[in-house]
Amino acid sequence: MERTWRPPFWTQAVLFLTITTEALIATESEHVMTVRPPRMERPTLMMTTPELISRHGYTWEEHDVVTEDGYILTLYRIPSGRAQPKPAEERAGRPAVLLQHGLVSSSDTWVLADPFNSLGFVLADSGYDVWLGNSRGNTYSRKHITLLPQQQQFWNFTWCCRWHEMGVWDLPASIDHILATTGQQRLFYIGHSMGCTTFFVMASTRPEYNSQIQGMVALAPGLFVKKAKSLVTKLLARYHEELWLIYTKHGWYECFVHPKQMTSLMNTFCETGSPTRHICKFHHYDPSVAGKINKLKHLRMPEYDLSLATAAVAIFYGQSDMMVDSVEVLKLSKKLPNVVTVQKVADPKFNHAGFITGKNVRTLLYNHILANMMKMK
C-alpha cells in the first residue's frame, strides 16, 4: 500500500531531527575546535572559491566540463604558486593534481585556510598544477545542457549520495579535460571522504582510467561505514526515508542546499532497520530502482570490484574520526591491489574535519602527502 502523508508526524520528526542534530553537532564539534587552524576567520566561510584563492595572491582559472549525461561541472585551477606566477609555457612541466571534496562540500574545501594550512595552496607552492573539482549539484555545478536546477529531472541522480554518477561520469569528464588542457598523460588525485568513494567507483567501473592516475591519495576514505561512531550518522539513518519523503513532498529535490553549513553530516547509514542499510557495503547504484526503496528493502546491488582499482593508493586516516573507523580503513586497504602506504595521523585527536581544518595539519598530514606523491612520480 502506498504511503500517505501525515503532517503532524512529519512535523514532529523534522523538529526532533533538527534540534537533536544541532545538539549532536555542537557536541561533536568540540573535537573540531581543537584542530581548527588559528587563522581561519568566519568571513572566509562566505567567500567563493575564486575569492578565497585571490585573497592570498594566487592566480586562478575557471573551466566548464560537460559530462556524458549533460551536467556542466566547474573546475577551478591554480596553475602556479603564489611567489612567482609564471606564463603558460613555463608551467607546462608542473604535474597536475585533481582534488575532490567530500559530501555536501565544494572546491572551497581546499582553500579555506591560510596558504600554509590549505592543501590547494600547499600543492601549488610545491610545484603542482592544482585543479579543484566540484560534484554535480553543488554550489558551483548547478548547470545542465537541457535542464534547470528547479526541475526534478535535474536531480535524477543518487539523492544526497552522488558517488555513483560522480564516479562513472563526473570524474572521467574532469580527468579528460585536465589532461587535454595540460597535455599530460597522467595526473595525481586527492580525495577526502566521499571524494575517495567516487574515485573507487570510477576505478572499478571504468578501469581504463587507472592508467591515467599517477597516484591517488585517500584522506579518510569512507567506503565502509558500518562501524562509524557518529551519533549524527545513527540519527539520520533512522530518519533517512522520512527526510526523503519530506523533501520531495515540498519539491525540495536538492540535498543540503548550502554545503558549508552541512559538512558534519554523513551520507551513508548502516543501522539495522534503516532503509539505506544495503550501502554498508560498497554496492553499485542502479538508477532503474531509484525511488523504489520501500518496495525493494531486501534488494542487494552487486558490490564494486575493488580489485580493478589498480592505481597506486596512499591512505591516511585519523584516530578520532567519528565518520570513518580505522577498522574499515584497514578493510579497504586489504581489498585494494596497489596500496603503497596506510598512515595514521599522529595526533590522537585528529578527526574527519581535521583533514581540511586541522591545526598543525601541514606538519601532521600535508608534508606526508607531499612525500608520498614524490615517491609515486
- pLDDT tens figures, 119-143: 999 999 999 999 999 999 898 999 9
Q: Render pLDDT for 338-359 as a digit per residue (tens, 0 to 9).
A: 999 999 999 999 998 999 988 8
- Please say if 135 is a catalytic residue: no
pLDDT digits (tens, 9 = 90+) for 148-188: 988 888 887 755 556 788 999 999 999 999 999 999 999 99
Contact 101, 133 (CB under 8 A): yes
Which of 281, 293, 267, 277 is closest to 166 using CA atoms?
Answer: 267
Cell of 156: 535524477
If one compares 11 and 334, the residue with the highest pLDDT of the two is: 334
Give the active site residue among 129, 170, 321, 325: 321
Q: State residue 134 phi and psi, 5-degree precision.
A: -140, 130
Work out the widest C-alpha separation in the chain, in whole angstroms.
66
Element at 58 (helix H, strand E): none
Asked whether residue 4 carries a pLDDT value surpassing 90, the answer given is no
**Active-site annotation holder among 193, 204, 264, 274:** 193
Count Cβ atoms within 10 A of the Cβ of residue 162 and give its class: 0-12 exposed, 13-18 middle, 19 or more buried: buried
Strand 61-66 to 71-78 pairing: antiparallel
In angstroms, rounded to a whole number, what is the distance separating the alpha carbons of residues 5 and 323? Answer: 32
pLDDT at 58: 97
Which of 84-93, 291-300, 358-367 is the most confident on average? 358-367
Give the pLDDT score at 234. 55
pLDDT of residue 239: 59
pLDDT recorded at residue 292: 44
Asked if 352 is an active-site residue, the reply is: yes
What does the pLDDT average to over 312-336?
A: 93
Q: b or e along 76-91 (b: 16 or more beta carbons within 10 Å of the residue's beta carbon)? A: bbbbbbeeeeeeeeee
Q: Which of 144, 177, 192, 352 is catalytic?
A: 352
Q: Which comes out higher in pLDDT, residue 304 or 7? A: 304
Least confident segment among 251-255, 268-272, 279-283 = 268-272
Residue 23, all three cell numbers: 545538539
Where do the domains of the chain lie, and which CATH numbers do they carry? 7-35+49-83+91-376 (3.40.50.1820)
What's the pLDDT score for residue 42? 52
Confidence of residue 91 (pLDDT cuts 50, 70, 90): low
Instruction: Return the percentage of the chain with pLDDT > 70, whole number.
Output: 63
236 vs 38, residue with greater confidence: 236
Contact by Cβ (8 Å): 259, 247: no
Residue 230 banded pLDDT, cuts 50, 70, 90: low
Task: Note the pTM of the prediction, 2 decimals.
Answer: 0.79
User: 105-118 pLDDT, tens per residue?
Assistant: 899 999 999 999 99
Q: Phi first, then psi: give them for residue 30, nearest 5 degrees.
A: -60, -35
Told to judge if 204 belongs to the known catalytic residues of this protein, a careful annotator would answer no
Inform me whether the pLDDT recorded for 300 exceeds 70: no
Helix (H, G, I), strand (E, B) or coil at 247: helix
pLDDT tens track for 181-206: 999 999 999 999 999 999 999 999 99
* pLDDT bucket at 273, cuts 50 / 70 / 90: very low
